[in-house]
Amino acid sequence: MPLQKKFGTAPVFFTAISTILGAILFLRFGFAVGTLGFWGVILIILLGHLVTIPTALAISELATNKRVLGGGEYFIISRSFGLNIGATIGIALYLSQAISVAFYVIAFTEAFQFFFDFIANKFDFVLPRQVISLPVMAGLSYLILKKGAGMGVKALYIVVGILFISLIMFFLGTTGHATTSDFGLANAEFRNGQDFFLVFAIVFPAFTGMTAGVGLSGDLRNPSKSIPLGTTLATLSGMIIYFFIVYKLAMSVTPEELTANQLIMAKIALGGSVIIPLGLAASTFSSALGSVMVAPRTMQALAADKSFPTKKINSWLATEHKGEPRNASLLTIIIAFVFVALGDVNAVASIISMFFMVTYGSICLISFLNHFGTSPSYRPSFKSKWFISLIGFIVAVWVMFKIDSLYAVIAFIIMSLLYLYIARVNKERKGLQSIFANAIYQMNRNIQVYLQKTNNESANEWRPSAICISEDTFERNEVFRFLNWISYMYGFGTFLHLIKDYYSTTTFEKSKEITQQIIKRFDHIENHVYIDTLISPSYTSAIAQAIQMPGIAGMENNMVIFEYDKQSGKNLNNIIDNFAMVRSGDFDVCILASTGKHIEFVQGIHVWIKSSDQYNANLMILLSFIILGHPDWKKSTIKIFEICQKSEIEEVRQRLEKMVVSGRLPITTQNIEIIEQPENISYKKIINDRSANAALTMIGFREETLKHEKEALFSGYDSIGTTLFVNSQDIKEIT
């Protein structure tokens, strides 16, 4: 049985503040002030906190919206972006935390510089740092494996106490330079601006500790209280202490001494030769202790979510012993030992910072999207502002590339490959969770309302917003493919599968199942069509319902697509009977005659025009251009045929060529063929002869002709394949 969760706010605060006031503060702040001057380092602190403060506020907000369980930052990210993306960032976060243990242990050895100097001077022998770092790592491992986080937290209080005493002694100390210096805010410098981001990269790891305490979320009595309070207080306290330390350094020592001595704080502090190395030891040990407590809990949460390839691995890493993630701790210690043995993780430090920045940016992005999505379930008791979270996300990404563009690219490549692998292993966990959906819903709603208010649809910028009703979805797929062709780049399509029945609980459940079946049916193709089902007792009532539906693109539907089987003529009568009803709504109408035969796309699209039928001509040409934008048709061409009287041939040719040139259509003049109307040869025979091998043939028809000829209008095209009959409700302008 796991132990009862017992920690309050203090461990969150102390874990974070001990990491914030860590090795970088003692070893690198003097160099930073000496290089950039007082105002240069103040600017670094402010820029760093443009990431950390929004992240702290975002974490506080997210932690008070729902209970944060084990895994801290990983839990927040995975429950917002989905388990696959969450696992990708979580693994990177875990590695950063695990390697950070080694980083802090190695930095801990700097507190024993006096010992290494003594050995070098006395025996003329350079003692390797591992003499100190490996035993310290072993002691830290024993503490965590045998005593657990409870003992770790107790030790944390002791080392944080030492840390604060050392800082107090630093502020109480003075130097000869300080007594004679005229340093003040008015004459403080900002120098060597060209080195700003170089120094920023060295100092920035000091800011990455503010989320360290979040990893204890699974061991807190009240995470929604302790995480916001502890994290925010540590972040703000750390920033204020930084300001005073920078001021003290700038006024106490010359720039030359600051850059030459990495433990310059020892020269300034009262009893500095003892207290500052002791403070450095305390800060680095507490940071290592915080990381070695947090990293296993991140790994345990990852394993509990089955993020790894086999059940055995997940089970082993998720196992607890007396409430402690024993196996995950063992793995963390092994990783840390490897890097401690290497003795230098400077090459790894930048990539660690990148992964931390990815985590911070992700948390800020989650907060921003939750604000933008305005989900009813998002009700945090602590609220940040959307623009603060957005600033945090933007600055995090920008800073990554400013620190080191190569490492930033490497970090993104590694995480992309990791995501592809995790998504492959966990195929059943697809896509992002509702956080993006809510944001998209809000954006779509606002766009639709805007378009309705401004009546933004322009006759000069026509595009199809088509709706298709079919009850033969599982018999033929030609009409769905056609709808997908026009929806790929320029148009919008809604496909409705008709269920002929009365609306009831049974049919409603059936409709949901069928919708999923259809989505799966077309899952193998790049689909740009919105799919749904429609329950209606008759074909006529279904059409009446469908044509009154709003368009999915924020504009009203302007086209209805019908389909029938060319061989049997099935459904053609229904289409003819309901044509007048559809046209009363000013819809363009396309009727697809499906053959069920394979389409040879390279044979092209043939568009047949009559000189007396300009209403349909422009719509067919525009549709052929739109269809050609789909990858299926990338090697295809458009060919235009027009039949006219001999006296009209030259005029028709000039009109078509001018339209093609002015409309910038991908049609060559060689693909425009003007045919003189021969005597005693029917229009249909000419089409059968010329378009027998075409991939798709388009033929216009008029409403009056349909009323008189009915089914005969569509018959007589036996030699050609898939055919689209087009009726336009007005002349489409090609500009």
Q: Mind listing the pLDDT tens digit for each residue in 349-367? A: 566 677 778 888 888 888 8
* Two structure tokens written together for 250: 């700038």
pTM above 0.95, yes or no: no
**CA 615 to chain CA mean position, Å:** 45
- pLDDT category at 680 given cuts 50, 70, 90 is confident
Q: What is the mean pLDDT of the chain?
A: 82
Which carries the bigger pLDDT value, residue 153 or residue 238?
238
Q: What is the DSSP track for 258-323?
A: HHH-TTTHHHHSTTHHHHHHHHHHHHHHHHHHHHHHHHHHHHHHHHHTT-SS-HHHHHHHH--BTT
Domain at 9-425: CATH architecture: Up-down Bundle (1.20)
Residue 664 predicted with pLDDT over 90: no
Give pLDDT tens digits for 122-155: 888 888 878 888 888 888 787 777 765 555 566 6
Q: What is the DSSP track for 120-154?
A: HHHHS----THHHHHHHHHHHHHIIIIIHHHHHHH
* Rounded CA separation 532/687 (Å): 36
Closest by CA to 91, choosing from 437, 504, 567, 422, is 422
- pLDDT category at 688 given cuts 50, 70, 90 is very high
Mean pLDDT value across residues 513-521: 91
Mean pLDDT value across residues 532-552: 88
In the three-class reduction of DSSP (H, G, I as helix; E, B as strand; rest coil), residue 730 is classed as coil
Give pLDDT tens digits for 554-595: 568 899 999 999 988 888 999 999 999 998 888 999 999 998
CB burial readout 540-573, b (16+ within 10 A) else e: eebbeebbeeebbbbbbbbbbbbbbbbeeeebbe
Mean pLDDT value across residues 212-237: 74
359 touches 81 (CB < 8 A): no
725 touches 697 (CB < 8 A): no
Closest by CA to 367, choosing from 13, 29, 728, 58, is 58
Mean pLDDT value across residues 378-392: 83
State how beta strands 723-727 and 588-594 pair. Answer: antiparallel
Please check whether the two domains, 9-425 and 597-735, share a CATH topology.
Answer: no
CATH of domain 597-735: 3.40.50.620
Kindly list the domain boundaries of the chain, sorted by start residue.
9-425, 458-557, 597-735
Which carries the bigger pLDDT value, residue 115 or residue 508?
508
- Looking at residue 454, what is its pLDDT? 63
* Two structure tokens written together for 113: 């510089």
Give the residue carrying structure tokens 């630093």.
170
Give pLDDT tens digits for 295-319: 888 898 888 888 887 888 889 988 8
* Rounded CA separation 498/507 (Å): 11
- Looking at residue 3, what is its pLDDT? 42
Closest by CA to 351, choosing from 178, 579, 93, 641, is 93
Q: How far apart are the first and last CA of the chain?
A: 74
Q: Which range (253-262, 324-333, 536-545, 649-658) has the least confidence?
A: 649-658
* Rounded CA separation 470/474 (Å): 10
* Two structure tokens written together for 686: 């000419």
